[in-house]
A and B are shown apart, each in its own frame.
Chain A
Amino acid sequence: MKYKSQKVAYWFFALSMLLLSLQIIYGFIMGFAHMGFDNLHSVIPFNTARAVHTNLLVVWLLSGFMGAAYYIIPEESENELVSVKLAYAQLISLAIVGVIAIVGYHFNYWEGRKFLEIPRPLDYLVVVNVLTFLGIIVTTLFKGKKRTTTSLVLTMGLVFAALLYLPGMIWFDNQTMDSFFRWWVVHLWVEGVWELIMGGILAFLLIKITGVDREVIEKWLYVIVGLTFISGILGTGHHYYYIGVGKVWLIVGGIFSALEPLAFLGMALFAIAMYRKGEKKHPNKIALSWTLGTAIVSFVGAGLLGLAHTIPQVNMYTHGTLVTAMHGHLAFWGAYAMIVLAIISYTLPNLTGRKYYDTTVGLLAFWLSNIGMLGMTVAFGVAGVAQVYLERKVGLEFGDVQKEIQVHFFILICCATMFTTGIGMFIYEFFKHGRPSDEALIK
């Protein structure tokens, strides 16, 4: 690392690792419940487990993005973070808000809107927290010597993500309106502004790892984020087919969301092309695997598996079934979990000075978690297709169908165990690197 203040990133990444472990525990609780073992029902009912699972996911990803920004922005703008103390305060308050929300979910304290369960009073704390974060990042960037495209795209993604949180905080009496604006947060995040964050981090990693000229990488970055917004904004329509907002979205949403995979295809081709073009090969093999991995798996999980149910005629049958859960898992994993694990793998040796570049455990972590997650995706997919057929085609009762498909959740749990082994190894490697140290500074 070149700047002392970059060390802050380490602690955001450490928080990410902690929350990821908890997220997985709640995933198992739900997996077992689907299999018929709901012994925890009276203590942790399914809706609690689910809110915890998905909110921890979002918070650990955000913490990872923040850590990434705290590492990348000083390096790109050639300037120390304007206030390290404030950054630590922001970290601690993020952790506290997160913990209160998660504990609250166990006591029926929430706002039952999928993915936006954080109760309103805590929302305001989130807003303050994120404003502090953005304040630090934006002032560092604008006081710095350079404003690179990579850092601008990353910052733009973070600023827009904060702005888009706001439509989710409005109360509507009408469920249709509620859902309409909920998607401004959820969809425009994952299929819009978060892709800018992903693109920014990916560009940074490719510049560092492949040594390809910055101008070339950043040109393609613009093309990719251009494709993202052109398809993704109107693509929001794929959530408006069947919620009571008019027929125009069947056409607009159908066409534009079907174009969304192009941005992910762009990301995959971009990463592979830059890797092949680059002459200087960085010795950090593990970071390279995660970087290429995220570009490819996001195309499969978000692009292809998203396309699989985005056409209105298909979505009519798959809407709100386990088919959605199949896509949700591989998309979040490929695009956002893996990009966070990639930036962690790249930065850890730089922060701590310990060069574990191609350890067996590190590479196994990559393969086990990816194969495990692919297996889980298949299990969800098979269960989902069977559910769609039996429930929506044959017309069996929901509960009877769920009994028929229980067996697939056994497979899910087997694959989840493999996945968890991989994540366990990743976390083991994380802590093996030790703490960040000033000795790792490059003058």
Chain B
Amino acid sequence: MLSKSQAKLFFLGGTIVTFAVFLILSWTSLSNEVPKRTHEENLTPQVVRGKQIWEANNCMGCHTILGEGAYYAPELTKVYERRGEGYIKAALMSKTPWSPRGRKMVAYGFKEEDANDVVAFLKWIGETDLNGFPPKPDLKK
């Protein structure tokens, strides 16, 4: 039967090996794949400002982006493609809670330039290669 020292070896050995593989895979994805898939050349200062506004207001506390966040409001990775710039700016700049389908969004009342930054961020993220996410609704004609 397995002894305690063998069990310990299994734990330590397994951890070290899988962690090493994990680091190598992470390194190769981050250095080779991510810059291409996310079009890093388009990551302008405006996009970065947009991301800062996105975080400062915890948009992820209601919405998802890249499928991560909360489930109270729509997925926004492809929102630029789906709704276009005008719609998004209207939602962001509205002084009363935006609620096209009943559920309310916080009334941020952003300045136009801040709204533009967020739009730039959403446009940039919409172009990321996500292996096909979000899926196309296959029952829709």
**A pairs with B:** yes
Q: Which of B34, B43, B55, B73 contacts A398 (CB 8 A)?
A: B73
Are the CB atoms of B68 and A233 closer together than 8 Å? Answer: no
Are the CB atoms of B15 and A113 closer together than 8 Å? Answer: no
Are the CB atoms of A226 and B30 closer together than 8 Å? Answer: no
CB distance from A132 to the nearest CB of B (A): 27
Q: Which of A226, A316, A319 contacts B7 (CB 8 A)?
A: A226
CB-CB contacts below 8 Å: A395-428 with B: 395, 397-400, 402-403
Nearest A residue to B127 by beta-carbon distance? A244
- Report chain A residues within 8 Å CB of B56: 108, 111-112
Q: What separation, in Å, do the CA atoms of A286 and B121 have in the docked complex?
A: 52
Are the CB atoms of B30 and A245 closer together than 8 Å? Answer: yes
Are the CB atoms of A176 and B37 closer together than 8 Å? Answer: yes
CB-CB contacts below 8 Å: A175-191 with B: 175-180, 182
Are the CB atoms of A246 and B61 closer together than 8 Å? Answer: no
Tally of A-B residue pairs with Cβ under 8 A?
211
Q: What separation, in Å, do the CA atoms of A41 and B129 have in the docked complex?
A: 35
CB-CB contacts below 8 Å: A184-237 with B: 215, 218-220, 222-223, 225-227, 229-230, 233-234, 236-237
Which of A45-53, A89-97, A274-282 is the contact stretch?
A: A45-53
Interface residues of A toward B: which range? 35 or more
Question: Any chain B CB within 8 A of the CB of A242?
Answer: yes
Nearest B residue to A48 by beta-carbon distance? B61
Q: Known contacts A51-B61, A223-B10, A316-B133; can you find 8 more A-B pairs with CB under 8 A?
A: A45-B106, A176-B66, A182-B68, A234-B21, A244-B128, A249-B29, A392-B135, A400-B101
Could you jot down 6 A-B contacts, CB within 8 Å?
A: A41-B97, A108-B56, A112-B60, A113-B60, A222-B7, A245-B34
Residues of B with Cβ closer than 8 Å to A? 2-4, 7-8, 10-11, 14-15, 18-19, 21-22, 25-26, 28-30, 32-34, 37-38, 40, 43, 47-48, 51, 54-62, 64-75, 97, 100-104, 106, 121, 125, 128-135, 137-140
